[in-house]
Structure 1
Amino acid sequence: MPHTISGFSKLSKSEKIEWLLNTYFTDKDSARALVKQYWNTDDKLQKLHDEFIENTITNYYLPLGVAPNFLINKTIYTIPMAIEESSVVAAASKAAKFWLDRGGFKAEVLSTEKIGQVHFIYKGGFDKLEAFFKNVKPKLISDTASITKNMERRGGGILDIQLRNKSEDLPNYYQLHATFETLDAMGANFINTCLEQFATTFKNEALLFKDFTGDESNISIVMSILSNYVPQCLVRAEVSCKIEDLKSKDIPNPEEFAEKFKQAVSIAEVEPYRAVTHNKGIMNGIDAVVLATGNDFRAVEAGVHAYAAKDGTYSSLTHCSITDGIFKFWIVIPLALGTVGGLTSLHPLVKFSMEMLQKPTAKDLMKIVSVAGLAQNFGAVKSLTTTGIQEGHMKMHLMNILNQFEAADTEKVTLIEHFKTNIVTHSSVVEAITKIRESGNFK
């Protein structure tokens, strides 16, 4: 194959770039200029970014926006959001302002337990394995003492280790299922280090266990890894008010709105096709804050969607009720987040975001992130059940379309004014910009 290369990782950054340019690009000068355009002018800062991952050639920018006026548990927050999608920050900001005058958001952390597993194969009787586990469990914990001492000093550590029989799902398959408290750290490295020590101790001690005979002592460790499914690391956020207090410029009939809103959420609870899009809107808000605060949005996504399917059918993460004239809208989600370690102490804009959030603990950040998801979902469902999603979304998307056609500033001013009273679609914008360039107006 003509485009394979050996030793690419050993090349310098400039050598990597030149190989890419010579291999894939016809206009090498333009491609080289683009790559360098996105470098930080501060060499120290660029070196920091280069060392975040492997084979870096440049930086890929996302906008960092802010959504102000979030009242959460009687504290006002301005929430940072890193995202490329139009209307997300605007919708969050609008929802925050709406609920600011209606009591704000309430949030509470329900639990903070995280999970890791040692997966292994054992070809003997379960009674013997169970007896061995009871015998070795104290040593599993004691052998991690050097790993856990700092975490324990802060109040965290290993909560429990269980033996789980999964042989009905897969022949001879068993687990050490461990739970952890990692406090303000997301805890992935801590958990994985503990698990690998569990595996070493478990395998070595099996060779010495007197009741094992033949191949029973030959336990095969398959892997040791944390789980991003954390159904016991939960946070709840909600908003509520009297139905009549929902009345606003956008909601002239609050009773009708409340009922229709509740029906929309109920549909997402029972219809997976709707639930996926419904929850994607929630994750617009959640991922944006998770990314802005240097946390792992892929882990959060995986865990949240697994939780949405925990009852056997994929369903809405948010819920709505109308009881005794009170409208209530809430979310319960698993969030394993950290405010120390990883990028939180390295990336300058992550540190900036954390300071903006008043230097939250991990529990504080769980509350803030869950509220961002709830607010985003409220804004989306409110639009869907009133004006429709496209009116607001396409107006926010207008600037992207204008930039695609390299509209001049004067053209943007004219076109933005035009579309204040006209429906925005891609074709209507193309038609308008063509007319203005041909004749200077829309007549």
Structure 2
Amino acid sequence: MSQNVFSRISGFYKRCLEDRLSAIEALGVLDEDARAHLASGGGLPTAVADRLCENVIATHALPLGLALNFRVNQRDVLVPMAVEEPSVIAAASNAARMVRLSGGFTGEADPPIMTAQVQLDDVPDVDAAASRVVAARASLLAAGDAAIPRMVARGGGCRDVEARVLSAELGVLVVHLYVEVGDAMGANLVDTVAEAVAPLVQRIAGGTLGLRILSNLTVRRLVRVTATASDEALGGAEVASGIARAIRFAELDPYRAATHNKGFMNGLDATAVALGQDFRAIEAGAHAYAAMSGRYRPLSTWERIPGGVVGRAELPLAVGTVGGLAEVHAGVRAALQLVGAKSARELAVVLASVGLASNLAALRALASEGIQRGHMRLHERKRALAAAGSGGAAASPSGEAKRFAPERADGARVVQQGEGET
């Protein structure tokens, strides 16, 4: 499959669904199974769904779209998003176009190190017990590696041990084992390690054994991205200065920071869902990291520089390109082919870049015309569809359908004016 993707596809939103799919197929990034899956309209067979979770009665679909214009670490990227919100894809695409004019997004991700936790209560002389645990580092790492031989054979495995005293008075000790998990998200691997080493930890430290499980606050698996947008691309110096003022607001006020971070996660979550990632774990880790200083803070910032703004984001991001839904869900496999990431670390940088783009789009709207104008115009499509009934406007040439078409065109014009990919 081709790796020379050009993500700047002008007028993509104006094409019919079949023409959009043909344009993507022509890029050569999809294998035959992925092309067939997307051409069929996507979806998950109920027989597969019935094996993925309990009490299945049907499947529940979301639209799958593409965010365009993304250039990440000098590579053009097609970004699949599964989301019902009409403005998310358009806004991310437009922000990516602005950033593209200044060279695109750059980023790096830490090695894929996950955290296994073993809890102990009622530990006598908890500080001395913590010292004994650290001194037994080699034995603990060996015990952890013995539980995941296939990962060790692939170059992963246990890398470090840490002991944290949570309460000397109550004798609460938690032991962390840090596990490198390759291109997997790694949750099951890390849970296996936690359960395997727990008896040895208890013998070393004493006390009552508690929980043995991963932490979704993966502080040794951070991703960092940066991007620049010029005053001209943003719509003027006043807009750029407004973005900087909005950041100060988010840094000072956790009520604003929560909404700021929701805007950041809008695009990231939609991409994570399309790619079969554990978006619940991603959300938990991101918001916990935002509060680690003791005050809830923004995950991303935008700083005023001469002629524009520079954005930066840092957050924990545990994602995978192997295992999980990629093994059983044809749509996830197709989405992974579209994004073209060769490793979990590369995928993490793409996801964080999408988050930063979504954040920039929201801040730009807030600093200029306000969030509602473009947002609600794009919502007209949903309102018209609801008015047309469950069959949708395309189901029949009724009066409701006729009213739907102009509203779709109006939504497209909003996209053209700044919410979309052109």
What is the CA RMSD across the aligned residues, in angstroms? 2.6
Determine the structure 2 residue equivalent to 1:193.
192
Name whichever of 314-323 and 272-281 sits farther off: 314-323
What is the CA-CA distance between 1:45 and the residue it aligns to?
3.2
Contact 2:237–2:308 (CA under 8 A) maintained in structure 1: no
- Secondary structure of 1:390's match? helix
Return the offset for 1:343.
0.7
- 1:342 Cα shift? 0.9
Tell me if structure 2 keeps the 8 A contact 1:295–1:344.
no
Q: 1:292 aligns with which of 270, 274, 277?
A: 274
Q: Secondary structure at the match of 1:143?
A: helix
Distance in 1, matches of 2:213 and 2:107, equals 30
Instruction: Confirm or deny: 8 A CA contact 1:109 1:234 kept in the other structure.
Output: yes
Residue 78 of structure 1: SS of its match in structure 2?
Answer: strand
The answer to whether residue 360 in structure 2 is matched with residue 402 in structure 1 is no
SS in 1 for 2:91: helix
Aligned to 2:96: 96
Query: How does 1:335-414 map onto structure 2 within 5 Å?
Result: 335-406=317-388, 408-414=400-406
1-structure distance, mates of 2:42, 2:360: 41
Q: Which sections of structure 1, spanning at least 5 residues, go unmatched?
A: 1-39, 207-215, 423-443
* TM-score computed with the length of structure 2 as normaliser: 0.80
Aligned with residue 222 of structure 1, among 203, 210, 222: 210
SS at match of 1:405: helix
1:144 counterpart letter in structure 2:
G
**SS of match in other structure, 2:52:** coil
1:274: how far off?
Answer: 1.0
Alpha-carbon distance in 2 for matches of 1:65, 1:44: 16
Aligned 8 A contact 1:164 1:176 in 2: yes
1:45 is matched with which residue?
Answer: 45
Give the Cα separation in 2 of the matches to 1:383 and 1:353: 29
- Measure how far apart 1:44 and its partner are: 9.5
Equivalent pairs, count: 365
Alignment partner, residue 289 of structure 2: 307
Shift in alpha-carbon separation, 1:43–1:104, aligned structure 2, 3 A: closer
1:101-250 counterparts in 2 under 5 A?
101-110=101-110, 112-126=112-126, 129-130=129-130, 132-133=132-133, 136-168=136-168, 171-203=170-202, 205=203, 219-240=207-228, 245-248=230-233
Q: Give, as a single letter, the amino acid of the residue that structure 2 aligns with 1:270.
A: L
Does 1 or 2 have the higher relative contact order (CA < 8 Å, sep 6+)?
Answer: 2
Tell me if structure 1 keeps the 8 A contact 2:145–2:193: no
Q: What TM-score do the two structures reach when normalised by structure 1?
A: 0.76
Counterpart residue number, 1:82: 82
Matched AA of 2:49: H
- Matched position secondary structure for 2:86: coil
Q: What letter matches 1:63 in structure 2?
A: P
Q: How far off is 1:164 after superposition?
A: 2.2
Contact 2:105/2:227 (<8 A) preserved: yes
Deviations 1:274-308 (A, max 9, x none): 11111101111110111111110010001000111
**Residue type of the partner of 1:167?**
S
1:341–1:416 Cα change, 3 Å: closer
CA pair 411-130 structure 1, distance change in 2 beyond 3 A: closer
Which is greater in Rg? 1
2:123 and 2:208 in contact (8 A); partners too: no
